[in-house]
Amino acid sequence: MFSGLSKLADKPFVMGFFLPSLLGLMAFIFANRDLPLLCRWLEAAEEGEKGFGDVVVALFVIWAVAVFLMALNDLTYRLLEGYVGPFNNRFCIQWQVRRSRKLRKPFNDARRQLDRTDIKIRRLRKLTDGGPPRRRLANALQECYYRREKLRVECNDLLEKSNRHYYDYENEEFILGTSFGNVIRCFEMYPHQMYNVSSVVMWPRLVDVISKDYKEVLSDARASVDMFLSLYVVSLVIAATAIGRGIARFVGNHYTWDPSLTQFTITIAIAFAASWAFYLLATQSALTWWGETYRSAYDLYLGALTKKLGFLLPDTEENQRRFWQLWSRQFRYYYPQDFSDFQRATTASRTKSEGGDTEGSDKEGGEKENDDGDDDEEETDDEDEGGPG
């Protein structure tokens, strides 16, 4: 328990949770400054009359809110990804499906133009097979080559953009109800696409072999996403408080409009606008640096995880994909798989050591034979010296 207390003061915690709780508390006090308690607190703070106890209480409240935001972090992700909650519905999913089709359409159009350009190039080259091309055909062929290169670059850019936002356009069952969830699903499915690895069950094992420096890179990359999501939650809390107070004021005034209700309306509008902006910023942060570092972790450390599991990495890509598929099944379904077709690290080291001993024995035998050969040469010399001559 106490070994994790140091993490409550590191950079990811301060950036991801402590700073949003500080800003959120300041915004909450400003939005509800008409309350007597908060009004007196602000007046005392402006006059510089706040004592040490008040400062300690304020810091404790900020720290408690930060810890609470950290505890709710996983639930916040699941809600905003669209796995549970209000965004997990048919309307949101269909909206994202239409958005994915709209995002994919420029790539499909550019791809069709590229295919037509390739067909035209092949036709022009057939016309020039009989001999050197005429000037008009040569210019047309050169123009087609230039257009094809331009379309190829455009297709690559559009494909990269679309594949960063949505996973598997052909199977729309994988599309979630939010843009944030689809962006995260894209880089979470990267290990499955490249290595046939289930990232959900493999990530807790992979973390053990990731170096300390790279863990800090991953934490810093996720800290910005956590910060924007925490600010998103704080903005919604401020909006909900303003809505509750506005309804209570409206009912207390016997359903008549009070000028103070205008202030609540402005607060609600600003809070919802801020929450939407923070949501977009969180999506953009997940789209860029955090997604890239997450993908890179599998590229860099799957080999180390193979050794940690006691095996040698298979030499072919097909065997590697089958190897990781078996491990993913075992971790997901808690049922042992058959790894007899793959070489264990202990067996390989034993074979290597035995090979080294054999080599040593051969070397000793060779030296022994050489020594015997030297003795034969010496005996021959002795015989020559004791001869008749």
Span 134-184, pLDDT tens digits: 777 778 888 998 999 999 999 999 888 888 888 876 678 889 999 999 999
Q: What is the pTM of this model?
A: 0.79
Q: Measure the CA–CA gap between 165 and 263, rounded to whole angstroms.
A: 38
Q: What is the pLDDT of residue 86?
A: 92
Q: What is the pLDDT of residue 354?
A: 56
Q: What is the pLDDT of residue 310?
A: 93
Q: Are 283 and 179 in contact (CB under 8 A)?
A: yes
For 347-360, b/e burial (b = at least 16 CB within 10 A) is: eeeeeeeeeeeeee
- Name the stretches of the chain with pLDDT < 70: 1-9, 37-54, 129-133, 169-170, 347-389
Q: Is 241 exposed, middle or buried (0-12, 13-18, 19+ CB in 10 A)?
A: middle
Q: For residue 340, what are the CA distances in angstroms to 43, 98, 327, 344? A: 75, 47, 13, 9
Q: What is the pLDDT of residue 378?
A: 42
Domain range annotation of the chain? 9-83+186-308, 90-176
Q: Over the chain, what is the mean pLDDT?
A: 83
The number of beta carbons lying within 10 Å of the beta carbon of residue 264 is 23
Q: What is the pLDDT of residue 235?
A: 96
Q: What is the pLDDT of residue 51?
A: 56
